[in-house]
Structure 1
């Protein structure tokens, strides 16, 4: 088991570090979380220039748990510490999965389950995303299932409560956990968990986020297919459930998401109560207005992987108990997932991105990465700079950096523009043409021109300017 976890950690870390070296890591999300956790490490509020001027990240999402990684910056002041920390979280998830499956079966199926989890596409997608707060929830949810199977229901409640610190929508996941506990006839723990879930969601969405948000409200109601508000959505789900089901399958990307989650698991999770734990997260994506969250290439699925995998094994053990001749299923289930993972890693890099590291495709630093290096090296320390999304992670440790169009124009002295992309990132992204026009209006002059599509521009600013002094102060205690 130690060898499996070590091998996964080495592969994940190699892929992550190569992404960073090759300038494939991005401001969204590695740069954002670096700025937030770095400010926590400096005992400051999580102000994130990448998101906007004086943008407080707790006004965006409720994820105070990321402050747990602040001490890592006291050891190594580099955004890659977040990669390392996240990989540790993902790899550690194999342990509760192993323990649960071993309790149900034996060592071999449990070991294969751990391999299947670590090779499965949701984990690969999150490693390829560099960092996201959902990583904290991945081992937590697996330990919740372990606690339930050990009949430690109050421990499951406690672990579930910690999920509330991961993200505001974990309150809904706690309500799902309450249903699972009720199914297990743990009535009082179920009641307490449901109450915690309702309170946690209300506290995050109605109090904390509006308090820190410049708009004064939670800005992520994106379920207009269900209704203009949460109340309208609940009414729609209760009165038109058939139409709600249609929405879950109304796009090929949604069908693909269903297929990639459940076909490798032989559709078994649908017969387990544990599938309820993953329902709020999966359904919230499928009901979402944003088409990108239906895709399998983002970070959202990692927390679902241990839930659905253990749900599959839960059904397998009950089938085997009833029909002993199905005993090979205990090995066949993880072998199927492993086979999908291996074939996918070798043949489908769009869904299984570790393929590039396994085959060596990303081992060499290309010309564009070298151009990135040239441009970022030319930016001095302690300045306010706007940068291309792929340049941001290489500037967060020594500048106050935002994306194009997000920084106080009085403070801005350096700009990096990437003319090879359609949009330059952020909530209201500029096009390269708009960014160049803005730079010209502000009096910027080229320093490096068209280095593989990258432009570095500069203008002088008064040394006594209060705005420029704020840039230098951003990374100081």
Structure 2
């Protein structure tokens, strides 16, 4: 059975990776966020700071969000310096998260039923959205949570905390989830370990938000504390909750493990950014292991009554939803045909020399971040930062102080003809 679980993970990895890589090769990835994260990892790989010019001159990524775990990508990126490296690593991490979920499912529903639920998890909308929307640091959190949750269900309390502890290095909101795991341990009677976990997570979270992030931030503050809208957008928030519970037939509500979703839902629904409220983007990926493991942790008598139909139902829902989710691209013949427009774009960009300073738009930026210092057009060029090149797909007729070099492949390339008003002083070292 181990081989079948491993094969499922390999199949999911292959699907995620092919979908993400073909999307990038068709010039459909973005500066926000693939380009930004590549700049940060490139900084680590060059034994420097994770600076992200796409967010502004000298912006240190640890002053934006706290994700030092990304340094683990530096050795891989140094050997394979490409945005595709990040996409493949993300695909692997998301696929690995299916292993503990499938093992639990096999223990509850047998071989066939367990594999069906594992496949349903791998095809769930939260995981697909993360795999299909560029790269994000939460790809590390998904397997860590999945393994920790498996240990909680199997009552391996100490090992569960060991798996959860690295979440503190993934993003600044995840100490709340680690604290929730500690609270669950208290609920299960593991007072000492639970209270220690809660205390350590809360202390780490406060240190990260109040000290570490401001220390790296140019303004000396954490930028995501302002603005709250808990009573705004209620319909879309309710839709998100329903969609979270739907893939598992709402059975997760019968397990206290479902409470671990509350920290993530709380900060998302409290914030005034509408992007956080709905099911789009990558924000729900960390919730999918919780929802599926909570279902598997439902009372045994209830699962016995559902044994015949639940695995097939979960898989049917996941497969049906895939028709409108990112993996649907694999069924599109255009995905596998040569894209002349994308090839022309990449060919046009070769006119920009390595190590050049470039202002590029959202779609072109991640095509250049592996070899150039890239700023985001139209915010740059400006009076302070005047890159040597400007590369855009839908440009104005002219860029002051620049001459148009070419419009091959639909890409407008402009070269600077006037001296820069000021040099930024920030240059990446090629790894």
TM-score when normalising by structure 2: 0.92
Alignment partner, residue 337 of structure 1 = 314
Alpha-carbon contact 2:360-2:390 (below 8 Å) kept: yes
Q: 1:170 to 1:366 in 2, by over 3 A?
A: same
The equivalences for 1:139-218 within 5 A come to 139-218=143-222
Aligned: 1:277 with 2:281: no
The Cα shift of 1:130 comes to: 2.1
The equivalences for 1:24-103 within 5 A come to 24-103=28-107
Q: 1:264 to 1:152 in 2, by over 3 A?
A: closer
The equivalences for 1:305-344 within 5 A come to 305-315=288-298, 317-320=300-303, 324=304, 326=305, 329-330=306-307, 332-344=309-321
TM-score when normalising by structure 1: 0.83
Which of 389, 413, 418 lines up with 2:388 in the alignment? 413
The Cα shift of 1:390 comes to: 0.8
Q: Secondary structure at the match of 1:263?
A: helix
Q: Secondary structure at the match of 2:309?
A: helix
The Cα shift of 1:264 comes to: 2.5
> 171-180 or 186-195: which moved more?
171-180
Alignment partner, residue 446 of structure 1 = 404
> 117-126 or 368-377: which moved more?
368-377
Q: Secondary structure at the match of 1:354?
A: helix
The Cα shift of 1:117 comes to: 0.9
The Cα shift of 1:288 comes to: 2.1
> 367-376 or 383-392: which moved more?
367-376
CA distance in 2, matches of 1:264, 1:345: 12
Q: Secondary structure at the match of 1:182?
A: helix
CA distance in 1, matches of 2:124, 2:369: 31
Which has the bigger relative contact order, CA under 8 A and spacing at least 6?
2
Q: Secondary structure at the match of 1:386?
A: strand
Alignment partner, residue 248 of structure 2 = 265
Q: Secondary structure at the match of 1:458?
A: strand
The Cα shift of 1:466 comes to: 8.8
Alpha-carbon contact 2:402-2:418 (below 8 Å) kept: no
Q: What residue ranges of structure 2 are gaps of 5+ in the alignment?
A: none
CA distance in 2, matches of 1:211, 1:406: 26
Alpha-carbon contact 2:105-2:118 (below 8 Å) kept: no
Aligned: 1:467 with 2:426: no
Which of 4, 11, 25 lines up with 1:7 in the alignment? 11
Alignment partner, residue 353 of structure 2 = 380
Alpha-carbon contact 1:316-1:330 (below 8 Å) kept: no
Alignment partner, residue 354 of structure 1 = 327
Q: Secondary structure at the match of 2:268?
A: helix
Q: 1:461 to 1:155 in 2, by over 3 A?
A: farther
CA distance in 2, matches of 1:101, 1:344: 21
Alpha-carbon contact 2:255-2:299 (below 8 Å) kept: no
Superimposed CA distance per residue, residues 289-329 of structure 1 (whole angstroms, 9 cap, x where no aligned partner): 11122232201111111110111121153524xxx5x1xx2
Which of 280, 286, 304 lines up with 2:287 in the alignment? 304
The Cα shift of 1:67 comes to: 0.8
Alpha-carbon contact 1:176-1:277 (below 8 Å) kept: yes
The Cα shift of 1:397 comes to: 1.3
CA distance in 2, matches of 1:264, 1:5: 19
> 56-65 or 388-397: which moved more?
388-397
CA distance in 2, matches of 1:218, 1:331: 50
Alignment partner, residue 389 of structure 1 = 362
The Cα shift of 1:52 comes to: 0.6
Alignment partner, residue 234 of structure 2 = 250
Superimposed CA distance per residue, residues 341-377 of structure 1 (whole angstroms, 9 cap, x where no aligned partner): 212223x2xxx11112223242234454244224322
Superimposed CA distance per residue, residues 26-76 of structure 1 (whole angstroms, 9 cap, x where no aligned partner): 111111111111111111011111111011000000000011111111321
**Structure 1 vs Structure 2 CA RMSD:** 2.3
Q: What residue ranges of structure 1 are gaps of 5+ in the alignment?
A: 227-246, 420-431
CA distance in 2, matches of 1:46, 1:27: 15
Alpha-carbon contact 2:371-2:430 (below 8 Å) kept: no
